[in-house]
Amino acid sequence: MRYGRILGAMGAFLLGSSSAMAGVVVTSTYTKLDVHQTNPMTIYADSDRLKVVTPEATVIYRGDTNRMWVIMPQQRSYMEMTPETLQQLAGAQNQLAAAQSALQERLAQMPPQQRAMMEQMLAGHGLGGLSALAGAPSSGTPQIAFAKVGGGKTVARWNCDNYTKTVNGQKEEDVCIVPVSATGLAAADFQVLERFSAFIQPILSSPLVPKMDYMDWSGMNKAIGFPGLPLDTTIYTQGRPTIQHAVSTIERTNIPAGTYDLPAGLTKRDLPGMPR
């Protein structure tokens, strides 16, 4: 009888272990400042798996299979990315960037009236003229810098320090960063972010990738000199604040099995910009 109870307890423990995995969950909100629309965001992180959930899209990274899914829940569809498809996508975008750069140069040399007509024609084809071309992805490596600015603040229940982030000399963020150790966690709890950063490196500067420091956690840590977590971020586009992102909670908890699985019943779609 005693051995039966022991075996039963062991069985319950094993079943419980198989239904959940210890990981980190970060909850936050992001606000589109132009329309004053606020949405929730949840990040799940395990040793080799990552999931970012918003109402508009869900991103799942599986380090164990070296692939990523971008899910559009409203369209009941998804796109799959592998190292091979990311390299192909990066190559296609570099070719597009080169063509757009050449077009920019030609437009700049045109007389004002002819240039205005050409920009109007481009806008009619959805290209938006020079203003859109100015945001084209660059084939070069972006120069990213974080400069600590005076003071700090309290976000949720942590004290963080203010930084200004610039990319190629242009201001991209005001961000308040807390050392990971100050949250009671360790850098090892977020090691999947390093793997994820390396995975998406070929398209990291692409407009397809959201401007979030979680997307390039390794680059941020290298720039600031320690493993940190961005708690409050204001993102700038062409000099104007466009998105506000604020963390609400960070906790280590058991994450249910199946969290990082691709949901059934979705339609697979091609990646945009991929050669056919």
The per-residue pLDDT for range 171-226, each reduced to its tens digit, is 999 999 999 999 999 999 999 999 998 898 887 766 656 677 877 898 899 999 99
- Which residue range is the domain that position 112 belongs to? 92-133
Tell me whether residue 38 is in a domain.
no
Q: Count H helices, E strands: the chain? A: 6, 12
Looking at residue 89, its pLDDT comes to 76
217-224 vs 191-199: helix crossing angle, rounded to 10: 110
Tell me whether residue 49 is in a domain.
no
Tell me whether residue 35 is in a domain.
no
Q: Nearest-CA neighbor of 273 among 125, 103, 79, 142?
A: 79
Tell me whether residue 239 is in a domain.
no
- The parts of the chain modelled with pLDDT lower than 50 are 1-19, 125-139
Q: Nearest-CA neighbor of 60 among 74, 36, 42, 75?
A: 42
Separation of CA 16 from chain center: 32
User: How many domains is the chain partitioned into structurally?
Assistant: 1
pTM here? 0.76
Q: Is the dihedral of CA 205, 206, 211, 215 positive or negative?
A: negative
Tell me whether residue 216 is in a domain.
no
Query: What is d(CA 180, CA 227) in angstroms, rounded to the nearest whole number?
Result: 6
Instruction: Indicate the average pLDDT of the chain.
Output: 82
